[in-house]
């Protein structure tokens, strides 16, 4: 079983540790805060902790590293892990910019190491179910993907605090946090758009709290709506000339409804794990154990990063 260390002590790290049981052996918890790291290790029965990255990478019981630190430090930490000969599963976004992501993937490839972006929707069986239903719709003309989830930390922003997920200096904001869950399935299903524009709502920290990305394709348009300051239960929709596909949640599709112009209706229930991080862990372990490199996944990550760059005017 692959021995993996975790970097970070956020909620997503705890979710990962829960999903990792029986899939990989978590050997070390790394945190800049020794007390938080120790608490996490006790909670999930991880045998060791570190607060120094060099010490972590010098250990002989670490085959791979899961990076779930603040977005802005992903490139530095991922690079250090790769240079130390470790495979890496890095939380989305892999890097704040596409250029940084490209550099990291190139480094991993040159070392024969697996670098996988932990974009959970890309590995979820619901996304594959969506792909299989698309031909029923005929020529797709419009796509509307949305992910609106009010952050529990937004109240702290309103109170005048500066928190990482709403701090531009830490690569925080709604697009990099939630909007990417709309961007990735778009490029996975439809490829790279011809044109990308964006409108956003800024919060007091200067980060984007909500926004809409408009992506134009030949004969098709897509709007991607996301927010960390409001909440919505609206579904995502793919509209074709022969009918419509409704998706309950773009990041974890479970209830899919196809309604065709001829009156035909098809309901598809996708049975999946909740939370759905287990699928990315399985794929990562499969790649590491087989020695294969994630060619398809790398392409998807880079296309999504390019769309995000264009939306941000980079």
230 domain-assigned:
yes
- Residue 72 and residue 185 in one domain: no
186 domain-assigned:
yes
pLDDT attached to residue 79: 99
- Residue 212 and residue 267 in one domain: yes
- Residue 129 and residue 266 in one domain: yes
212 domain-assigned:
yes
Q: What is the pLDDT of residues 242-283, one digit of tens each?
A: 999 999 999 999 999 999 999 999 999 999 888 899 999 999
Burial of 68 (0-12, 13-18, 19+ CB in 10 A): buried
Q: Please give the structure tokens belonging to residue 124.
A: 């979820």
How confident is the model over 68-76, as a mean pLDDT? 97
Q: Is the peptide bond before 93 cis (omega within 30 degrees of 0)?
A: yes
103 domain-assigned:
yes
Q: What is the pLDDT of residues 132-146, one digit of tens each?
A: 999 999 999 999 999
* Sequence-separated (6 or more) residues with CB below 8 Å from residue 22: none
Residue 214 parent element (H or E): strand 208-217
- Residue 70 and residue 175 in one domain: no
How confident is the model over 120-142, as a mean pLDDT? 98
293 domain-assigned:
no
- Residue 19 and residue 35 in one domain: yes
- Residue 64 and residue 132 in one domain: no
Distance of CA 80 to the CA centre of its chain: 21
* Nearest CA among 170, 150, 155 for reference residue 227: 150
Percent of the chain with pLDDT over 70: 100
- Residue pair 75/95 in contact by the 8 Å Cβ criterion: yes
- Residue 128 and residue 268 in one domain: yes
Alpha-carbon gap, residue 184 to 210, rounded angstroms: 17
- Residue 109 and residue 227 in one domain: no
Average per-residue pLDDT in the chain? Answer: 97
User: In the predicted model, is pLDDT for residue 86 greater than 90?
Assistant: yes
Alpha-carbon gap, residue 67 to 248, rounded angstroms: 29
- Residue pair 24/285 in contact by the 8 Å Cβ criterion: yes
Domain boundary among 119, 150, 184: 119
239 domain-assigned:
yes
Alpha-carbon gap, residue 301 to 187, rounded angstroms: 9
| Structural domain containing residue 49 | 3-119
Distance of CA 87 to the CA centre of its chain: 18
- CB neighbourhood size of 153 (10 A): 15
- Residue 59 and residue 87 in one domain: yes
Alpha-carbon gap, residue 248 to 243, rounded angstroms: 17
Alpha-carbon gap, residue 39 to 19, rounded angstroms: 18
pLDDT attached to residue 274: 86
Alpha-carbon gap, residue 255 to 268, rounded angstroms: 6
Domain boundary among 83, 102, 119: 119
pLDDT attached to residue 251: 96
The CATH number given to whatever domain includes residue 36 is 3.40.50.720
- Residue 132 and residue 270 in one domain: yes
201 domain-assigned:
yes
User: In the predicted model, is pLDDT for residue 65 greater than 90?
Assistant: yes
- What's the total number of domains in the chain? 2
- Residue 147 and residue 265 in one domain: yes
Residue 182 parent element (H or E): helix 180-190
Q: What is the pLDDT of residues 174-201, one digit of tens each?
A: 999 999 999 999 999 999 999 999 999 9
Domain boundary among 119, 148, 174: 119
How confident is the model over 16-39, as a mean pLDDT? 96
Alpha-carbon gap, residue 153 to 132, rounded angstroms: 37
Residue 210 parent element (H or E): strand 208-217
Residue 133 parent element (H or E): helix 125-133
- Residue 44 and residue 101 in one domain: yes
Distances (CA, A) of 23 to 2, 26, 40, 80, 278: 8, 9, 18, 25, 8
Note the pTM of the prediction, 2 decimals: 0.96
């Amino acid at each position: 079983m692959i021995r993996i260390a975790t970097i970070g002590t956020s909620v997503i790290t705890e979710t990962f540790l829960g999903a990792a049981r029986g899939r990989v052996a978590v050997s070390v918890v790394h945190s800049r805060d020794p007390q938080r790291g120790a608490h996490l290790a006790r909670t999930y029965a991880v045998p060791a902790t570190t607060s120094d990255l060099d010490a972590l990478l010098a250990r002989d019981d670490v085959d791979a590293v899961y990076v779930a630190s603040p977005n802005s430090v992903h490139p530095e930490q991922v690079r250090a892990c790769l240079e130390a000969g470790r495979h890496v599963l890095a939380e989305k976004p892999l890097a704040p910019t596409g250029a940084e992501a490209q550099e990291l993937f190139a480094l991993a490839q040159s070392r024969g190491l697996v670098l996988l972006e932990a974009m959970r929707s890309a590995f979820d069986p619901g996304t594959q179910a969506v792909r299989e239903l698309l031909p029923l719709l005929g020529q797709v003309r419009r796509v509307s993907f949305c992910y609106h989830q009010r952050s529990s930390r937004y109240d702290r922003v309103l109170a005048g605090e500066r928190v990482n997920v709403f701090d531009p200096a830490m690569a925080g904001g709604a697009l990099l946090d939630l909007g990417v869950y709309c961007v990735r399935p778009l490029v996975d299903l439809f490829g790279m758009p011809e044109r990308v524009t964006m409108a956003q709502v800024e919060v007091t920290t200067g980060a984007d709290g909500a926004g809409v990305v408009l992506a134009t394709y030949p004969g098709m348009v897509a709007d991607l709506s996301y927010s960390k300051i409001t909440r919505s239960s609206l579904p995502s929709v793919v509209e074709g000339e022969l009918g419509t596909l409704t998706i309950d949640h773009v990041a974890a599709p479970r209830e899919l409804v196809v309604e065709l112009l001829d009156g035909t209706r098809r309901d598809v229930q996708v049975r999946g794990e909740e939370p759905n991080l287990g699928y990315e862990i399985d794929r990562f372990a499969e790649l590491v154990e087989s020695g294969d490199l994630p060619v398809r996944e790398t392409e998807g990550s880079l296309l999504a990063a390019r769309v995000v760059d264009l939306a941000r005017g980079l």
